[in-house]
A and B are shown apart, each in its own frame.
Chain A
Amino acid sequence: MAEALSARVRPYRAVLAARARSQASYRANFVLDLVSSLLSALVELAEVWVLFHAVTRLGGLEFGQILLVFGLADLAFSLADLVFGHCDNLPTYLRAGTLDVFYLRPQPLLLQLITSDITLKRLSRAAVGVVALGAGLAVNHVAWNARDVALLVTALASGCATSAAMFVLAAGLQFFLIEGYELTNAFVYGGRYAATQPASVWGRPLKVVFGYFFPMAFTGFLPTLRLLDLPTSPWLPTWLGWCGPLAALWAWVLAMACWRWGVRHYRGGGG
């Protein structure tokens, strides 16, 4: 049983190990990639900081509290990006017809696409998330009891899953969009931007879109409300902080439905 599993996993492992080695082998370029990825996370944190520097309190949160939102949401997104981010390359494969190669192999299409690459440079971005999360926990004097630890672990794990689902959802839509691929940036990277905001400032339409339909508020804002026992905001009650796994489940149902729909629509690259 275990042997059969390891035989099944071996091809994926071989591809991923080769990808990781190839990225790290151009040393100077890899360092520069790590630096630029680090820089992008720092700048996004700076954008949040500038606003809180100007007014100190936004959407009922202070900077120390938004640090926790940013840390949770951005760490989850960065880890998802590390593993799933290259799904963004699908439009290139579709236009070049190289996706058809995947059909020749006896492995599931989506699994091949996901394991076809890994973006190691996102590690530095994840590091910023870890530091922000650590700082957020420290300044808010979070008491380390079992409930808080469970909440944090649940929030992070389901946040990763939700963010990853956004990449798969986008990939499914690419079969229809082809040249209009930028459209999916609206909820993938727009979702990342939304996830680091205090969701209490959103109007009702945004709460429906990024609170529930693309459930990004569940990756940072809602768990933070629960963890710090902050007051409920309209349409986003504090107890939802525990419901990250449900949000992740919904996101994956949406993503898989879209992916199936897209694959069924695909008629080959004409090669």
Chain B
Amino acid sequence: MRASARIYWRLLCAGFRRQSAYRLAALGGVAANGTFGLLKVAVLFATVHAAGGELAGYDIGRMSAYIWLSQGLLGSVNLTGRTEIAERIKDGRIAVDFLRPLDVQAAEITIEVGRSLFALVPRGLPMLAIGAAVGMALPGGAAAYPLGAVSLLLGIVLAVAAAYLVGVVGFWLVETRGVQVSYMVVSGFLAGLFVPIGLFPRWLRVVAEATPFPSMLMYPIDILAGQVGLTGALALLGAQLGWLAGVVGLGQALTRAGRRHLEVQGG
């Protein structure tokens, strides 16, 4: 038990370190995410002003917090559905992964979570700095900080686990790019990347909440931006845990079925 915990800890650190090699890439990402953030500020602030200073619980401060938190988490929460496992299934290297004395799904998720956690530093902190400079709402009470941190971690793990699902579809489809791009488009929208789901019309909000996507980005932000109180935060955490259990369970089942189905082409 302890030995395997140590292995996964090492994988987490390896993912963290690997991401630290891409400094220039992080700089490019900061410039792009910052620009999108400024455009979101313009249009969403105008929306709040047009509604008379408050819309669906968002005043300017909370909207600002939503914008800069979401831009900062963009590098860490995998909403693209892009994974390395998809590549390895396509070219057959996955066969080697199955030979290792590790759970393929757990190892893949651990490494990716390590990378995502590192990305919080070069891609997340600059966005928070912009938010702090222009002014944004802070969490309601002291409890919101630890709850927000847990929620953020759950969101990151859930996003990685769901992207893994997109990747293992490759056991049956081989070429998964079309599925991945469709996933990326839908997940960003329903996770509340461009417009917070609180602003959606009721029916669309119900649709979004029936998917795991808000648990990846919207719920952690709602907790960190003080949009929900203590009980609300606990309910959101519960929803995140439920989705995580479901997605990880499905990933296990698909990995097992895929292993039996796997046919490596060439030799």
Contact = CB atoms under 8 A, between A and B. Distances in A.
A53 interface: yes
Interface residues of B, number: 39
B9 interface: no
A50 B199 contact: yes
Contacts of A57: 50
B185 A201 contact: no
B43 A197 contact: yes
A51 B186 contact: no
B195 interface: yes
A179 B25 contact: yes
Interface string A36-66: 1101100100110011011101110000000
B208 to A, nearest CB: 11
Contacts of B242: none
Interface in B176-204: 177-179, 181-182, 185-186, 188-189, 194-195, 199-201, 204
A185 B24 contact: no
Nearest to B199: A54
Contact of A39 (B32, B39, B45, B186): B186
A40 B47 CA distance: 23
A202 B179 contact: no
Interface in A65-113: none
A186 B189 contact: no
Interface in B34-79: 34-36, 38-39, 42-47, 50-51, 55-56
Given A51-B195, A58-B46, 16 more contacts: A33-B181, A35-B182, A36-B185, A51-B47, A54-B55, A54-B56, A55-B51, A180-B28, A183-B27, A183-B32, A184-B32, A186-B31, A193-B39, A197-B39, A205-B38, A206-B39
Contacts of A206: 38-39, 42
Query: Taking chain A's interface residues, is the majority helix, strand, or loop, or is none over half, making it mixed?
Result: helix
A267 B179 CA distance: 38
Contacts of A133: none
A36 B182 contact: yes
Contacts of B45: 201
A203 interface: yes
Interface string B1-39: 000000000000000000000101101110110111011
A29 interface: yes
Instruction: Please indicate which of the listed interface residues A54, A185, A189 has the most CB atoms of chain B within 10 Å of its own CB.
Output: A54
Contact of B189 (A47, A187, A189, A198): A47
A182 B25 CA distance: 7
Interface of B: 22, 24-25, 27-29, 31-32, 34-36, 38-39, 42-47, 50-51, 55-56, 175, 177-179, 181-182, 185-186, 188-189, 194-195, 199-201, 204
Given A50-B199, A179-B22, A182-B32, A43 B46 contact: no
A52 to B, nearest CB: 9
Contacts of B43: 51, 58, 197-198, 201
A39 B189 CA distance: 11
A32 interface: yes
30 contacts: A29-B175, A33-B177, A35-B178, A35-B182, A37-B181, A39-B182, A39-B185, A39-B186, A40-B181, A47-B189, A50-B199, A51-B43, A53-B201, A54-B56, A55-B51, A180-B24, A180-B25, A182-B25, A182-B28, A185-B32, A186-B32, A186-B34, A189-B32, A190-B32, A193-B36, A193-B39, A201-B42, A202-B42, A206-B38, A210-B39
Interface residues of A, number: 43
Nearest to B180: A36
Query: Taking chain B's interface residues, is the majority helix, strand, or loop, or is none over half, making it mixed?
Result: helix
A132 interface: no
Nearest to B189: A43
Nearest to A31: B178
A40 B27 contact: no
A80 to B, nearest CB: 19
A42 B179 CA distance: 16
B132 to A, nearest CB: 19
B206 to A, nearest CB: 14
Contact of A177 (B28, B46, B47, B179): B28
Interface string A157-176: 00000000000000000000
A194 interface: yes
Given A54-B199, A183-B28, A197 B42 contact: yes
Nearest to A40: B185
B197 to A, nearest CB: 9
Nearest to B50: A55
